[in-house]
Amino acid sequence: MSTMLRNGGLLSRRTFLAGTAAALGGAAFAPVRTARAQTLSTGSAELTVVSDGMMTLPLNFTFPDAPQDELVRLLEEAGQPTDAMRPDCNVTLVRSGDRLVIFDVGAGPNFMSSTGKLMKSLEAAGVDPGEVTDVVITHAHPDHLWGLTDDFDELVFADADYHIGRTEWDFWSSSDAMSQMPEDRQTFVVGARNRFAALDGRVNFIKGGDEVLPGIEAVDTPGHTPGHLSFMVHGAEPVLIVGDAISNATVSFARPGWPTASDQDPQQGAGTRLALLDRLATDKARAIGFHFPHPGAGMVERRGNGFVYVPA
């Protein structure tokens, strides 16, 4: 890999932040807040949710095609700020038997100043990164993948096995990935390839329906990215690790058909979101959303023509 790509983290951060600041109208990033860990059980596995920080995104950047008056009304009714979206970044760990699995690795040090808090959160939760046996990636966006390596391009979870969808890997590695991304997100491709290079043949490629690890099933949830996967942790009380297939605990539930700018294929993303919400409500399964209000775990209930998120 070229020097530019090997140093892609720092280059990507400068370029991305410059482009994103313009796209966001110069919005400031949210202050970091102390986040608590949450622990739940499926009966056969223990799940712990920790924080990687949070972001701030203007409403018209996140849902540019939504009726803005209705969008503001939904947020007001939910008691949420109406000047911007402030998504939390929730990282889930699953401990089962002799394995400690982490789902996504946060943004690392080279994305936004209000993210990249995973190491501090793990320390506060009493988790040694050296204990992690498996790293499972839902998709390759910066806030989920860039924490794979540190400032020296070394793997943070050096002794772990790595698992990612074959479709996701192939997309970000393809020669036309750059041309399929908006200009202000093309550094996402550089950053993904940089982190992929650090894995150096250590990847276990997976697909929907696979039992990634005992009791953990991959679920196809494309649209946000071409190969996005969610993960069902089975047990007496199963939990679905959603990733970004459902990205907002208010709008995505009440208006799942509304397209969001963060989905690479908005139409497919909306279809996936609706099907997933319907399944979760029918099965009465708990869900952990990467961008749900921290600590991120809750239930899905039907309400009128949409759904509502009920924190656990």
Residue 208 CA to residue 240 CA, distance in Å, equals 13
Q: Which residues are registered as beta bridge partners of 307? A: 302
Q: Write the CB contacts of 241 (distance below 8 Å, at least 6 apart in sequence).
A: 92, 103, 138, 230, 231, 232, 233, 287, 288
Identify the pLDDT of residue 6: 29
Identify the pLDDT of residue 8: 35
Residue 110 CA to residue 289 CA, distance in Å, equals 23
Identify the pLDDT of residue 299: 97
Identify the pLDDT of residue 59: 82
Identify the pLDDT of residue 13: 36
Identify the pLDDT of residue 35: 60
Residue 84 CA to residue 210 CA, distance in Å, equals 38
Tens digit of each residue's pLDDT (9 = 90 or more) over 136-154: 999 999 999 999 999 899 9
Residue 147 CA to residue 130 CA, distance in Å, equals 15
Identify the pLDDT of residue 5: 29
Identify the pLDDT of residue 110: 85
Regions of the chain short of the pLDDT cut 70: 1-35
- Domains of the chain from N-terminus onward: 3-311 (3.60.15.10)
